[in-house]
Amino acid sequence: MQKEKHLELNRQWWKEGIVYQIYPRSFQDTSGNGIGDLRGIIKRLDYIKSLGVDIIWLNPVYESPNDDNGYDISDYRSIMKEFGTMADFDELLAGMKERGLRLVMDLVVNHSSDEHRWFQESRKSRANPYRDYYHWWPAEKGIPPKRWSFFDVESNAWKYDQQTDAYYLHCFSVKQPDLKWENPKLREEIYDLMRFWFDKGVDGFRMDVISFISKDTDFPKLPEKYNGEFIPFYANGPKLHDYLLEMNQKVLSQYDVMTVGEAPGVHIDEALQFVNEDRNELNMFFHFDLMSLDRETGETFMMQKEPWKLTEFKKIHSDWDGVFANKGWGSMYLNNHDFPRSVSRWGNDSKTHWYNSATMLQTFLLTMRGTPYFYYGEEIGMTNIKFETLSDYRDINTINRAETIRQQGGNLEAFIENEKDASRDNARTPMQWDSSENAGFSVENPWISVNGNCREGINVAAQEADTHSVLNYFRKMVQLRKSHLTLIYGEYQLLLPENEQVYAYTRSLEKECYLILLSFSEDRATVHFDEMSGTQAKLLISNDDANTRVDNGTFEVRPYQAMVYKLF
């Protein structure tokens, strides 16, 4: 009977796995140059294993001039010298396999570096065999139609190249020219490099801005239906799903691997086009509805809006869960290398509420349906660093946008104030291993400053020694999820949708049912469920010592408290 239930659930390792994302530049330095490296990850494999996670997502470690911290790749089959060698990579992969850990790498194939051999050849002449690996617009046709760039000082995605009197397309940095997927030879090159890593034993890819790879090569004027928004336009290329299907048929279906696409601009109504099992494209993808909840989109992307509401937060997650209730599979994340720390953004990082906030958010990710993704340091509650001056920043996004504002005579002080909460560098500060000067990350000054609160208990060494730490709560919560299939596959039902203090929901499968109560408030709250009057409830875990059920379906919830009950 148990086996039949598992078959009905369509169990998959990538559904049941918990992902731990490592930004290698900031994880652990062993060479003494202030930059994290592959041997640093090898050194910490036992720690990662102790967390209970199953899958490591490794941000790019390929050869790169580092215009965008490795997302501008100059050689897809070599390791960046700052990070180590291919021998180091092979040792890392072997060490992971020995510990039962799987490795997912970044696949960055919407664009390459302008220092990649393909582009170096492409720009030599219009007749070069590699010319059609990139998008070129001949100058004799006039100024190309407006396309927006994330990292360009002028927000212009076209760069004039004098050598062949033409413009090339770069939706990101000027040093990140977009690859031309419309060319079948280019696609075969990409499929071949994917096979290279899979044959090494890599277990999957996180596909960087994969929703952008298809272009309308006539480059028409932006259609009116997009209301000036380039991101959803970029995500709606005419042959996107043809390319994903072809990738699956030629490569992905030949290996036991997982795929997760980064999909900015993809609307909820389009979700199953990517992950419906019958379509054979991707396993799951990251949507951006939550990441834009309190941020502007379009050309002012990452600028803060009005404070977000819990009812909006609930609706986003409930709506997306509904999409995958019967088909496909979702992903759950609260931050990553592109977005600020979760406890500072979605919780409360004050000393009073930091512990409960960090553990409450862990509880949320580990009790929702969908594969949970945790960013390094989330397990110890790392917070935003909130740099005071522009000189502290290292991210091309912050630096170039500041230059744009300066050139336009804008309010630079307001922008820097915004970046204290919104900058990507908040998520890129070194991992806090201990309370030493550089937090145990490096013996030298790190490439980016360490958060000073590493000396205030937000470090691994201090939390290892404390049974009630954020770190040890995370381990307990991971094991709770792993020991209850209902928390992975069970039906999700939102309760109290209009409550602005408490996020309440149930997870149920066959005769099992769990109630999850999460406070997103500085104030105490009392919630009541008529349908639970007379129901027995056993508290399985809480980040607060108090069991705050009163009786007859009434629960008292403390500030940022998390509780998981089993209902009988």
Q: Which residues are designated catalytic?
A: 208, 262
| CA proximity to 444, closest of 32, 154, 47 | 32
DSSP state of 63: E
Q: Residue 548: what residue type?
A: T
The pairing of strands 284-286 and 331-332 is: unpaired
Runs of H (alpha helix) within 201-255: 230-234, 240-250
Q: Which residues contact 276 (CB under 8 A, 6 or more apart)?
A: 327, 328
166 pairs with which residues across the strands?
138, 161
Q: Give burial (CB, 10 Å; 0-12/13-18/19+) of 140.
A: exposed
Helix axis angle, 470-482 to 354-367, nearest 10°: 20
Cα 481 to Cα 561: distance, rounded to the nearest angstrom: 18
Q: Which residues contact 146 (CB under 8 A, 6 or more apart)?
A: 156, 221, 222
Measured from the Cβ of residue 253, the count of other Cβ atoms closer than 10 Å reads 10
Dihedrals φ, ψ of 82, to 5°?
-60, -30
Furthest C-alpha separation in the chain: 78
Using CA atoms, how far residue 190 sits from 108, 204, 261, in Å, is 10, 14, 16
Sheet containing 331-332: order of strands:
284-286, 258-262, 204-207, 102-107, 55-58, 19-22, 371-375, 331-332
DSSP state of 304: B
Runs of H (alpha helix) within 261-309: 271-275
Separation of CA 264 from chain center:
11
Q: Long-range pairs for 456-464 at CB < 8 Å and ≥24 separation?
A: 456/351, 458/380, 458/381, 458/382, 458/383, 458/432, 459/380, 459/432, 459/433, 459/434, 459/435, 460/47, 460/380, 460/431, 460/432, 460/433, 460/434, 461/433, 461/434, 461/435, 462/434, 462/435, 463/380
Dihedrals φ, ψ of 69, to 5°?
45, 50
